[in-house]
Amino acid sequence: MSKPNPLLSGMAGRCPNCGEGHLFDGFLKVAQTCEACGYDLSKADSGDGPAVFVIMIAGFIVAFAALFTEFTIHPPIWVHLVIWLPMTLVVCLGLLRPFKGAMLAAQFMNKASEARHD
Ligand SMILES: [Zn+2]
């Protein structure tokens, strides 16, 4: 059986080595080892990489949606606050885990020293 695509496995929150075990132990905490294949995930560290991408993408989505709403509907400011503040939170939290998984999988794919299996 062929190995799964590590990037897709990482984005799905699965082990980039086997695609079966969980990559995360909690919402964003990386598991120590894969429970399916025993791969050591403790050295994986994505740093601030996922947050940077999420900030840029969420900022683009929310800022342009808010500008579009303002220029087309002209709602009062409280409507903007009620819509766009929760939307920012939802978009950021929704994107953070897949992006962190993708960054960890990219370390695995490129055999980065922090993620290398000894
Ligand atoms: Zn695994």
Distance between CA atoms of residues 72 and 36, nearest Å: 52
The rounded Å distance from CA 69 to ligand 1 centre is 45
The rounded Å distance from CA 25 to ligand 1 centre is 13
Q: Which helix (H) or strand (E) holds 67?
A: helix 49-73
The rounded Å distance from CA 52 to ligand 1 centre is 27
Residues of the chain with confidence (pLDDT) below 70 = 1, 113-118
The rounded Å distance from CA 57 to ligand 1 centre is 29
Residues in contact with 72: Cβ distance below 8 Å, sequence separation at least 6, in sequence order: none
The rounded Å distance from CA 14 to ligand 1 centre is 8
The rounded Å distance from CA 46 to ligand 1 centre is 18
pLDDT at 42: 87
**E strands present in the chain:** none
pLDDT at 83: 97
Q: What does residue 86 show for φ and ψ, rounded to 5 degrees? A: -65, -35
